Amino acid sequence: MRITGNPSHVKQLEAFELLTRMIEGAQKIVLCAHTGPDGDALGSVLAMGAIIREAFDEDKDVACLLADESAIPATYEFLPEAKSFVRPSQYEEDPDLFIALDLPCASRLAAARPIMERSATVAVVDHHPADGSFGEPHIERTDAAATGVVVAEYALFLGTPITSEIATDLFCAIQTDTGRFMYQNANPEAFKIASLLVDSGADPSEISLHVYQSFRLPYLHLESIVMGRIVTLDHGRIAYSYATRRDLERTGAKDDECDGLIDVVRSVRGSEVALFLKEGSTPGIVRGNLRAKGDLDVSGIARAMGGGGHKAAAGFSVEGTVDDVFARVFPLLRALVAKSSSKNEAAS
């Protein structure tokens, strides 16, 4: 059962019912999101774990699993129960149920994939478009602003009280995946759920303080380097910048602090798409982040580069140098903005 579409669709309710029966019948449950987790991934996993503990037997063994051996980004250590995450090498059980959250394909489970493969059953709760599906049910709500929205709706479906801890996790999930409610995916549903979460105890100012206003000086020094490198193409419609390993080493910034650098590039006035490249910790690997404004869709470019994401926010990781990757992506970006121009001219 692969579910897409509007939240009121009866098939989503059917999928929630199936997921509920699976949870009821499972003793050992694993919750896991994608490799390199962001706020939506971490918040959704923690919230789902808390919801299961609230709504079902307290005796259930629920593990919040990371897809990597690395610790969670320091930015999100404030989240309730953030210290409960388990690394793949620490989990030796054979789960009865593996729930994958915020990822469209099994490959993004990275080191956690073998644990999924030895699980008796697998379910997926996500909002990314997927070329193929895994898990039964596979809830793919591409119209939802964040996986946190779908998790919140599951709590409402169960009638489970949304505690302040759950509300905090889910508000962080939605706030970060909508770019502080600035991206095109910040739809009425996202605001309605966010309002409910605030009513349930989430503190937007406190969450924003941790996520957006608690940067270390080394990161801010790296941000200044990235800002100084911003260049535009095609009459300012494309903005791009990059960071090298040398930049991170020289400033002392950490990889997990760099997620927000794409928004620095996106902030250029008049730009319609933004690209930020960063040399990865693995030699020869470059991580790319894409953002779009208006109706432009950068997810296709990310998929062409072996990655994925949403219309307004997407990413990829590829082998090569920064210069190599720029050379591959620039033609795709130029084609995208040219196509947009043609549509606008035809409409006028």
**Could you report the per-residue pLDDT of 311-334, keeping only the tens digit for each?**
889 999 999 999 999 999 999 999
Q: How far is CA 232 from CA 163, 227, 236, in A?
A: 46, 12, 5
Give yes or no on whether 2-211 and 217-347 have one common fold: no
Rounded (10°) angle between helices 188-199 and 147-158 = 60
Q: Could you state, in order of their start, the residue ranges of all structural domains in the chain?
A: 2-211, 217-347
Strands of 156-244, DSSP E? 231-233, 238-243
Average pLDDT over the chain, rounded to whole?
93
State the fold for domain 2-211: inorganic pyrophosphatase (n-terminal core) (3.90.1640)
Q: What is the pLDDT of residues 20-59, one digit of tens each?
A: 999 999 999 999 999 989 999 999 999 999 999 999 977 8
Q: How crowded is residue 25: how many other Cβ atoms within 10 Å of its Cβ?
A: 11
Burial call 282-320: b when 16+ CB within 10 Å, e when fewer: eeeebbbbbbbbeebbbbebbeebebbbbbbbbbbbbee
Instruction: For 236-292, write each residue's pLDDT tens digit.
Output: 999 999 999 999 999 999 998 998 999 999 999 999 999 999 999 899 999 999 999
- C-alpha dihedral, 92 to 95 to 100 to 105, nearest 10°: 80
Helix, strand, or coil here: 6? coil
Alpha-carbon span 171 to 174, nearest angstrom: 5
What is 217-347's CATH number?
3.10.310.30
Q: Which residues contact 118 (CB under 8 A, 6 or more apart)?
A: 94, 95
Cα–Cα dist 140/132, whole Å: 11
pTM above 0.75, yes or no: yes
What are the pLDDT digits (tens) for 57-101?
A: 778 999 999 999 999 999 999 999 999 999 999 999 999 999 999
| Strand 2-3 with 97-101, pairing | unpaired
Compute the C-alpha angle 198/100/179, nearest 5°.
40
One-letter amino acid of 296 = L
More confident residue, 178 or 8: 178
The token pair at 228 is: 């100084």
Is 19:136 a contact under the CB 8 Å cutoff? no
